Amino acid sequence: MIDSLIPQIEGLQSQGAVVLLKWDGERTRARCTVVVTRQETDYVWRRDCDDIASTLAEALAEYKAKHDH
């Protein structure tokens, strides 16, 4: 599912956003982290999760709602 989100991630990149995806083998719960930032607007979205694909989709949707006016 993450592959289908690549065009949206690239769209955020073109707007100056940074997208980080992290898989953390040291944790036993919420082993993944999704972070989206955009420095010029002080926008920060971060969530620890177990399902990185659905959390990434949520992050992209919230970013779009905030920045596509």
Residues in the chain predicted with pLDDT less than 50, given as ranges, are: none
- Looking at residue 21, its pLDDT comes to 97
- Looking at residue 9, its pLDDT comes to 97
- Looking at residue 56, its pLDDT comes to 98
- Looking at residue 1, its pLDDT comes to 80
Residue by residue, DSSP assigns 17-41 as -EEEEEE-TT-SSS-EEEEEEEGGG
Answer whether 49's CB lies under 8 Å from 24's CB: no
Task: Order across the sheet with 18-23: list the strands.
Answer: 18-23, 32-38, 43-49
In the chain, the percentage of residues whose pLDDT exceeds 90 is: 90
Provide the Cα torsion 64, 1, 26, 13; round to 10°. Answer: -40
- Looking at residue 68, its pLDDT comes to 82
In whole angstroms, give the CA distance from residue 69 to residue 65: 8
